[in-house]
């Protein structure tokens, strides 16, 4: 629970970055009545258990073991050498360099959508980390923790033009903006570090939920004061009118019932992480389709959180009519990298290759009397190009 | 398939590290008959498809798009700023600094065992990456690719004294040694960067498999010549006599049948990644036990690879007799951080807390006539200490 970690963190000194990695080690001496040698974590924990006076007699003042280990900044940082992150956009945006890891790619060495979503989450949290606003919750600011508030995502849209490959170096930019009166928009861009080509773009909307009542909340003034200086008016995806996603019913073509959240699906907010929802959605699409197609875009509308004891049903329905007329397709096309090859129809990427396929999705909790919606989704797909060695 | 990526990689220049991050961008100009502006990846792929003469007329000579994007070194590197890795141990060991990411931890903010195993895999591959020996396979050297060989793990043992927490900076050391005539041992140590305390240690044994016949292979001389200069005689875990793991049968207490590998479970070697096996094993243990216990050690003996069409059954059996007499327990105790608190029995970590609980595991493929073993396992558990905020 974020509320359990509400103490502000005081550091004896902030991190300094002198153009190189920070190599200092903290020598932990907890128990003033004991010897001065470096203690093990067991001893630290033991000391904390034994007596509260021991826990406060550290050379770091009121630092807990957790605070020593995490070292969450209390002041805005411009560079974090460990996270390979830096503040950009005139002081309010964040850029992180990451290498695509071996376990983030599938059998064809391309990063999975899940990996991209995980990297979005990670860079978003590191952005808050750098801001000095982070309490010890899942991206919650000090003001949010004082009000028992956590972030919940209400909408997420991702467009993938190219999938990064194993070992590739990426730059991920992220920034935030206002969304209505009580929400926050967060956008991302993923670029190839080697070429500067944009691989993927994403936008999301976040609102606050009371951690105890699990009800959505207005944004308190003190939280607005914390985060609004970071807002900028810039969009990764230009979408004039968000498409309405229809609600599927039991007539949906593909249904996967009795999905059970696993312990490993729960995140620090003690509910199923939204990235796991995407896995359930995509697993409901027939293998045969997945083998020959590549996801180019996804829109998710989150309605309700899902706990560890819920039983989940995943429904999906392919579009019958594949004409490119509705909102999402239009906006996808608008944001596609329209290369001269496509524009001029010179043969290597003909009109057929641009044809996109759509699926509508629904995840719901199976109740005794009625079902409750967790998330509605739309996915767009393109045929894999066999000539692209990394289409997966 | 690793065999599809067998071309050696030639770079116009190797990476230089001048004490800071490498910020150069490669301007890709592929098609000499077109304009000189920076091209998109689609154009590169298109050019490669259109004509082989186009594909070889790059300013990098014979570099493919993949080679430009991955930049696998062909010569030994001492430092990789992107991976935050460096060569240690007189030129043959590897150390990487990593930050525990938000999606690598569970609800109690501690890294999951799966995350640790993923980081072991990642640092092992980056070690080979730095060596200049890496072909484009999953850790395969150039000599292995010439002989159609891939690495398969035959044994893995992990001991976790402390679980890293979200945001914590870790140093992971890894190195290799000989294992018999045809195998390789790979060890790891995970340390806290802030305190230098060792959190986890691991050792593993690897053998080579012919990628086409899927049969184990001797180590060819040319491969031995590549890798043996990197061997050192140092062990992360001292284990005199490896414990024999008994084979469970259908009388096992807990059985989870009809596990189906998912597309996302397959790795670059086109079989189920060994990390996924651990997930299946642990999910078979009752929730009630998992909630109150923490894994302290695991031993895995891999017998057979598992493909995407196999149906898997997971069995496990708790030890009846909890006396600490057998090999694994002895070796676990030997390697435990025996703090003065434990040694002197001064109250905060009494003898009861040291009591460990064991499970025996088996994953097998359900066949029509007989079942085939995938992996046998032993796990050791300790009771969670409620006073440790990060026990999970």
List, for residues B101-144, the tens digit of each pLDDT value.
999 998 889 999 999 999 999 999 999 999 999 998 889 999 99
In 3D space, the residue among B22, B21, B40, B20 whose CA is nearest the CA of residue B30 turns out to be B40
Long-range contacts of A16-24 (CB under 8 A, 24+ apart): A17/A77, A17/A78, A17/A79, A17/A80, A17/A81, A19/B19, A19/B20, A20/A81, A20/B19, A20/B20, A21/A81, A21/A82, A21/B84, A21/B97, A22/A81, A22/A82
Instruction: Please report residues of A whose CB lies closer than 8 A to that of B15.
Output: none
Residue B321 banded pLDDT, cuts 50, 70, 90: low
* pLDDT at residue number B340: 39
pLDDT surpasses 90 at B4: no
Whether A269 is catalytic is: yes
Q: Does domain B242-392 sit in CATH 3.40.50.2000?
A: no
- Mean of the pLDDT values across residues A215-233? 96
pLDDT surpasses 70 at A22: no
Lowest mean pLDDT among A43-57, A123-137, A175-189: A43-57
User: A75-237 sits in which CATH class?
Assistant: alpha beta
Alpha-carbon distance B94 to B175, whole Å? Answer: 6
DSSP class of A104: G
Alpha-carbon distance B52 to B34, whole Å? Answer: 15
At A150-196, the pLDDT tens digits run 999 999 999 999 999 999 999 999 999 999 999 999 999 999 999 99
* pLDDT at residue number A50: 34
pLDDT surpasses 50 at A391: no
At B191-234, the pLDDT tens digits run 999 999 999 999 999 999 999 999 999 999 999 999 999 999 99
Beta strands A372-383 and A293-302 are antiparallel
The residue of chain A nearest to residue B345, with distances taken between CA atoms, is A46
- Mean of the pLDDT values across residues A253-260? 90
Contact A118, A96 (CB under 8 A): no
The C-alpha of B149 sits at a distance from chain A's nearest C-alpha, in angstroms, of: 17
The C-alpha of B101 sits at a distance from chain A's nearest C-alpha, in angstroms, of: 6
* pLDDT at residue number B146: 96
Alpha-carbon distance B173 to A171, whole Å? Answer: 26
Alpha-carbon distance A266 to A277, whole Å? Answer: 11
The C-alpha of A194 sits at a distance from chain B's nearest C-alpha, in angstroms, of: 5
Report CB contact under 8 Å: A106, B70.
no
Which of B18, B28, B45 is most worth mutating to test chain A (most A CB atoms within 10 A of its CB)?
B45
pLDDT surpasses 70 at B352: no
* pLDDT at residue number A385: 73
Instruction: Please report residues of A whose CB lies closer than 8 A to that of B388.
Output: 45
Please, which residues 201-260 of chain B have a Cβ atom closer than 8 Å to chain A? Answer: none
pLDDT surpasses 90 at B391: no
The residue of chain B nearest to residue A288, with distances taken between CA atoms, is B263
CATH number corresponding to B73-237: 3.10.129.10
Q: Which among A99-113, A165-179, A266-280 has the top mean pLDDT?
A: A165-179
- A121 closest CB neighbour out of B103, B283, B287: B103
* pLDDT at residue number B327: 44
Domain B73-237 and domain B242-392, same fold? Reply is yes
pLDDT surpasses 60 at A66: yes
At A339-387, the pLDDT tens digits run 433 333 333 344 444 578 999 999 999 888 889 999 999 999 999 875 3
Report CB contact under 8 Å: A340, B48.
no
The residue ranges of every structural domain in chain A are 1-71, 75-237, 243-392
Residue B62 banded pLDDT, cuts 50, 70, 90: low
- Mean of the pLDDT values across residues A98-107? 94
pLDDT surpasses 90 at A269: no
* pLDDT at residue number B65: 83
Residue with tokens 């050498």: A81
Instruction: Please report residues of B whose CB lies closer than 8 A to that of A337.
Output: 40, 42
Contact A284, A254 (CB under 8 A): yes
User: A243-392 sits in which CATH class?
Assistant: alpha beta
Q: Which among B154-158, B272-276, B324-328 has the top mean pLDDT?
A: B154-158
Whether A271 is catalytic is: yes
The residue of chain A nearest to residue B341, with distances taken between CA atoms, is A43
């Amino acid at each position: 629970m974020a509320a359990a970690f509400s103490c502000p963190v005081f550091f004896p000194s902030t991190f300094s970055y002198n153009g190189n990695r920070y190599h200092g080690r903290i020598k932990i001496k907890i128990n003033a009545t004991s010897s001065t040698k470096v203690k093990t974590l067991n001893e630290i924990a033991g000391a904390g258990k034994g007596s509260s006076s021991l826990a406060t007699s550290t050379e770091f003042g009121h630092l807990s073991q957790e605070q020593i280990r995490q070292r969450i900044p209390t002041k805005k940082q411009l560079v974090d050498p460990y996270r390979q992150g830096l503040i950009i956009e005139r002081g309010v945006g964040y850029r992180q360099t990451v290498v695509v890891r071996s376990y983030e790619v599938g059998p064809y060495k391309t990063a999975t959508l899940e990996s991209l979503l995980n990297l979005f989450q990670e860079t978003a949290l590191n952005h808050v980390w750098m801001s000095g606003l982070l309490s010890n919750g899942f991206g919650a600011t000090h003001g949010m923790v004082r009000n028992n508030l956590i972030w919940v995502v209400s909408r997420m849209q991702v467009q993938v033009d190219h999938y990064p490959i194993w070992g590739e170096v990426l730059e991920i930019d992220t920034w935030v903006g206002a969304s209505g009166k009580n929400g926050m928009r967060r956008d991302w861009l993923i670029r190839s570090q080697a070429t500067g080509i944009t691989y993927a773009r994403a936008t999301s909307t976040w609102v606050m939920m009371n951690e105890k009542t699990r009800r959505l909340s207005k944004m308190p003034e003190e939280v607005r004061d914390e985060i609004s200086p970071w807002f900028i008016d810039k969009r990764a995806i230009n979408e004039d009118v968000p498409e309405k996603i229809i609600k599927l019913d039991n007539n949906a073509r593909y249904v996967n019932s009795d999905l059970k959240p696993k312990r490993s699906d729960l995140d620090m907010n003690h509910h199923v992480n939204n990235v796991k929802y995407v896995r359930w959605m995509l697993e409901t699409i027939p293998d045969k389709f997945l083998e020959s197609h590549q996801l180019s875009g996804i829109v998710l509308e989150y309605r309700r959180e899902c706990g560890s004891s819920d039983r989940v049903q995943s429904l999906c329905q392919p579009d019958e009519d594949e004409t490119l007329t509705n909102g999402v397709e239009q906006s996808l096309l608008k944001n596609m990298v329209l290369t001269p090859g496509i524009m001029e129809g010179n043969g290597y990427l003909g009109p057929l290759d641009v044809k996109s396929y759509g699926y509508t999705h629904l995840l719901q909790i199976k109740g005794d009397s009625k079902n409750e919606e967790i998330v509605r989704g739309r996915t767009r797909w393109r045929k894999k190009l066999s000539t692209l060695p990394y289409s997966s």
